[in-house]
Amino acid sequence: MTRNDDVQNHEWLDRYKKKIILGIAALMTLSLTVTMIYIACTMRSRLLEERAVQAEELGTILHSSLNHLMESRDPGKMQDALVVIGKENPAIVRAFILDNRGKVAYSSHEQDIGVTIDRFSDVSCTGCHNGPVTVPHDRTMTVTVDDKRVLRHVHIIENRPSCHRCHPAGVRINGKLVIDSSLEPTDSLIRTVILIILGSSFACLAVLIPFLWRTLSKGVNTYINEIRMKSAELLILYSIVDRLSATIEFEELKQIVIEIISDALGADEIDMVLPNEYRELGVIVWTRNRSAMVRKKVEVASALHDIIYGWVEGRITEHTIVNNGKEIHMPVAKAGNRLAFIIIRSTSGVFEPYQLTLVRGMANHISVAFENALLYRMAITDELTGLYSSRHFRQAIGKKYSLFHEFGEKMTLLMIDIDNFKRINDTYGHPAGDAILKEVGKCILSSIREPDLGFRYGGEEFAVILPASDIPAGKVVAERMRALIEHYPFKADQHVLKVTVSIGVASWPASAESIKEVIAEADKALYDAKHGGKNQVVVRARGEK
């Protein structure tokens, strides 16, 4: 073999090696490209499916939230609610309600009110109505409105018995709630992901494929994690709206807010500060280990006292993470009115900065719920004592009685009367008597737990409902209350007065089986206490004369 033959063989081997390398590279690139295209198409389909599911869940939640407004027969509030929904949810292009004739009755775009939509000719309706049908075959579909692709969800408003006050009973459907959500963010994200995937596939010809694979996977995972995080955040906020709308009772709402925060943020401890509750700051403490709300007295020299009054004085207005990530400060306000200050702690981990976005969204919804609950509370609260009114007593004891029948939960009732109160009024005047009533109300509140309810029953008579309590527990609370009032320094015209109370205790099922009976038994026990020497606690058991 000559030198020239050897050179030619090496050149052939080099050319063959290059062909093999190029073939392998081409095969890997083709395989990677096909795989990436498949992943991109699958991801696009899944994203659109998830977006459709979210739209349906949003429609269900909004329908549930708007349902009580429909039944309240207040068109103004219905329209205001849709306008707020359109403004506070950037993803919603338009939300409107059609009556059963196809006329827009309420809309987040007020200029659309009164417009009649022909379901058989209007292009935005062809996704639901492709012929003479009355019920959409698909509740969520993609349509084009104003040259833009939107995801439309249609929620049927059925004519239930509670609607027959305004709608004829023979009509099956009153209208439809329609929500148009923009698909532009989803389409933009899909286009971005596809371009990144395809570009990275072809770049594998010039760079290390494993490195690009790891980089690409990391980039795609970042987008996916962001989508999932945003989706989870939206679902949490929609869940919050649904749970907060379940009640307007302030006592129940406080428990719901605690549960929402602990579930959403994984909190281990929560302090809730409520201004103007019983005419002073009320601090409620919840811990995961105890899983119950209790009132807490904050010492003036404590760090918590400084934090709370920093909020009271307007120095804490932003949601912040402090104490090396272990604590979140959540001020809750509405139109400049401070409604609550919530301190959230974690003993097992730290809070991340991205969670502040969720905290801000939660605070906005909580502020609306608190404002409505406080307005309702003002209507059911005795102005002088800060206790609930006698009118609210019947409703509250009815709810507790239903818990007894449904779950067997015991309840104890205390009936309290100020001894010789007429003598105080006659001697020192009615202003002094009012001051005594107010201070007695404070003593009652300081003697009971957070779930307990205190009422001004009438005149100088008070009532306390102790949920999940039996007669022995009720007697302990009553005795603590009686002793506190007996030693409390009441003042009238520079005189320190000794005021005492008589207390009757009754419970179901130990004392009675019905609301009427337990009230009667507690009144009998109070009568025995008054006529047995006053300043004492008497328990009434069933069957006693």
Q: How far apart are CA 218 and CA 197, in angstroms?
A: 12
Region 128-132: mean pLDDT is: 56
The domains of the chain, with CATH numbers, are 1-219 (3.30.450.20), 250-378 (3.30.450.40), 390-539 (3.30.70.270)
DSSP designation for 288: T
Which of these ranges, 12-21, 110-119, 449-458, has the smallest mean pLDDT?
Answer: 12-21
Q: Give catalytic residues, as residue numbers.
A: 460
Kindly indicate the confidence band of residue 464, based on its pLDDT and cuts at 50, 70 and 90.
Answer: very high
Enumerate residues 6+ apart whose C-beta is below 8 A from 353.
321
Enumerate residues 6+ apart whose C-beta is below 8 A from 262.
270, 286, 288
Can you tell me whether residue 291 is helix, strand or coil? coil
Distances (CA, A) of 154 to 58, 82, 150, 344, 467: 11, 15, 13, 39, 43
Nearest partner of 216 among 226, 227, 204, judged by Cα: 204
Measured in whole angstroms, how far is the alpha carbon of residue 20 from the centre of its chain? 63
Q: How many residues does the chain have?
A: 545
Q: Is the pLDDT score of 213 beyond 70?
A: no
Cβ-contact 63, 177 below 8 angstroms: yes
Summarize pLDDT for 416-435 with one digit per residue, the tens: 999 999 998 888 888 999 99
What does DSSP say about strands 461-467 and 490-492: parallel, antiparallel, or unpaired? unpaired
Nearest partner of 144 among 133, 152, 155, 135, judged by Cα: 152
Kindly indicate the confidence band of residue 164, based on its pLDDT and cuts at 50, 70 and 90.
Answer: low
Is the model more confident about 197 or about 510? 510
Region 68-93: mean pLDDT is: 74
Calculate the average pLDDT of the chain: 79
Region 348-360: mean pLDDT is: 88
Q: What is the pTM of this model?
A: 0.49
Cβ-contact 166, 74 below 8 angstroms: no
Provide the pLDDT for residue 279: 41
Q: How far apart are CA 245 and CA 368, in angstroms?
A: 10
The sheet carrying 320-322 orders its strands as: 293-295, 280-287, 269-277, 337-345, 327-334, 320-322
